[in-house]
Amino acid sequence: MREMTYAQAIREALAEEMRRDKNVFLMGEDIAIFEGAFGVTGNLWKEFGLERVRDTPISEAAIVGAGVGAAIMGKRPVVEIMFGDFLPVGMDQIVNQAAKARYMSGGKVSVPLTIRVTTGATGAAAGHHSQSFEGWLIGIPGLKIAVPASPEDAKGLLKTAIRGEDPVIFFEHKRLYGMRGAVPEGDFTIPFGKARLVRRGKDVTLIGISGMVPTCLEAAEELQREGVDAEVIDPRTLVPLDRDLILESAVKTGRVVVVQEAHSRGGAAAEIAALIAEHAMDWMNAPILRVGARNVPIPYSPVLEQEVLPGKEDIIAAVRKLF
């Protein structure tokens, strides 16, 4: 199969969906002439023009809110928020407007809006350019939350997001943009709510979110040398969440570590751990553990940052506690 990067896979999904449906258009800060702060949109503006690949003012509330209005009127906007850290600037439009329009109107309107947003730390970017906010947003009914961790998933999930009828927050991990992987030729989609079994194992289940999926795999390889056979699961979407695969794996191994880059307090990992505690406690041979960032703002100094962010060694240390 052909290989491409995560960023190229996203760009290909955007291009294909724009060719397929003239209602799809892109809007965001520096996405056209500058070709995207991380180069994801690239030269799409040359094919689709500056109307459909639209540079905006630095106005997150207006970007998201205009996306809501255009979506209600039948367009399929894909808006880009340059850094996940900027989501709070547009949060009313996400939480109170986009998420609630369908339900509060008695189901009479759809908001087919995709909000692409970068997430995670890439090193020495400090507390306004390094955060992971997916855990905040899983608590908002009406939003769907995608956290792709491979080029194939990024492409397939983005197409599902764009074709769907509900607002999606699509978290793209900045550290994964350069990751290469096999991506099938032609048109394909990946459904929401179906987790990916990344590595089969029998002794412990590692559930990795977004950028932590490759880190979980590295930890699993190292644990193998210690004689621990780890299973790795990537939920792919947090809302909806594939409860079946998660619980099946938890029941099989009896030991679970949930790993996220977001601050460990109040995040998606806590939610998944609670799910397992509620439904699979009798099969657990050890406490369900979470690994996440220490609960301080992400610091600038590489030494401090490394101390705060979770890594392979933290996962391995957590697994060792379970045996």
Partner 1 sequence: MANYKKFFVLDVYRRIYLVREFELRAIEERRRGLIPGFIHSCVGEEATAVGACLALHQDDVITSTHRGHGHLLAKGGDPKYMMAELAARSSGYCKGRGGSLHIADFDLGILGANGIVGGGIPAAVGAALAFSLRKEKRVALSFFGDGATNQGSFHEAANMAGLWKLPVIFFCENNLYGEGTPQSKQAPLCDLAKRAESFCFPGVIVDGNDPLAVYEATREAVERARAGEGPTFIEGKTYRFRGHYEGDPQVYRIPGELEEWQARDPIPTFRQRLIEQWSIAEDEIKQVEDSVQQQLNEAVAYASSAPIPQEEEALEGVYADIHGGKVF
Among 15, 37, 109, 125, binds partner 1 (CB under 8 A): 109
305 phi, psi to nearest 5 deg: -60, -45
Q: At closest approach, how far in Å is the CB of 109 from partner 1? A: 5
Tell me, rounded to whole angstroms, the distance of Cα 165 from its chain centroid: 19
**Stretch 273-292: interaction string toward partner 1, x if CB under 8 A:** --------------------
Residue with Cβ nearer partner 1 (2 or 108):
108
Q: At closest approach, how far in Å is the CB of 68 from partner 1? A: 5
CA gap 197, 217 in Å, rounded: 11
H or E stretch covering 279: helix 268-280
Task: Please choose, out of 35-43, 98-106, 180-188, 301-309, the segment that lies near partner 1 by the rule CB under 8 A.
Answer: 98-106
Distances 192 to 29, 85, 101, 189, 241 between C-alpha atoms, Å:
27, 24, 21, 9, 8
Q: How many residues bind partner 1 (CB under 8 A)?
A: 48
Residue with Cβ nearer partner 1 (51 or 185):
51
Q: Applying CB under 8 A, does 253 fall inside the site for partner 1?
A: no
Q: Applying CB under 8 A, does 225 fall inside the site for partner 1?
A: no
Q: At closest approach, how far in Å is the CB of 258 from partner 1? A: 16
Among 46, 47, 105, 244, binds partner 1 (CB under 8 A): 105
Residue with Cβ nearer partner 1 (80 or 314):
80
Q: Is 263 a catalytic residue?
A: no
Strands 204-208 and 144-146: unpaired
- By CB under 8 A, the residues from 22 to 81 that bind partner 1 are 25, 51-52, 56-57, 59-62, 64-75, 77
Q: At closest approach, how far in Å is the CB of 269 from partner 1? A: 16
Phi/psi zone of residue 107: left (φ > 0), alpha (ψ -120 to 50 degrees), beta?
left
Select which of 129, 173, 263, 279 is catalytic.
129
Q: Answer for the pair 175, 211: CB distance below 8 angstroms, yes or no.
A: yes
Q: Where does residue 210 rank: exposed (0-12), middle (13-18), buried (19+ CB within 10 A)?
A: buried
If one counts every other C-beta atom within 10 angstroms of the C-beta of residue 183, the result is 23
CA gap 229, 43 in Å, rounded: 44
Q: Applying CB under 8 A, does 93 fall inside the site for partner 1?
A: yes
The amino acid at residue 266 is G
Token pair for residue 203?
């002794």
Residue 37 CA neighbour count, 13 Å, CB half: 16
Q: At closest approach, how far in Å is the CB of 184 from partner 1? A: 24
Among 142, 156, 211, 310, binds partner 1 (CB under 8 A): 142
Among 165, 187, 226, 244, binds partner 1 (CB under 8 A): 165
Strands, DSSP E only, in the chain? 3-5, 24-28, 53-55, 76-81, 114-119, 144-146, 168-173, 180-182, 196-199, 204-208, 230-234, 237-239, 256-263, 289-293
Task: Please choose, out of 5-13, 161-169, 199-207, 257-265, the segment that lies near partner 1 by the rule CB under 8 A.
Answer: 161-169
Residues belonging to the active site = 129
Residues that bind partner 1 (CB under 8 A): 25, 51-52, 56-57, 59-62, 64-75, 77, 92-93, 96-97, 100-110, 141-142, 144, 164-166, 193, 239-241, 243
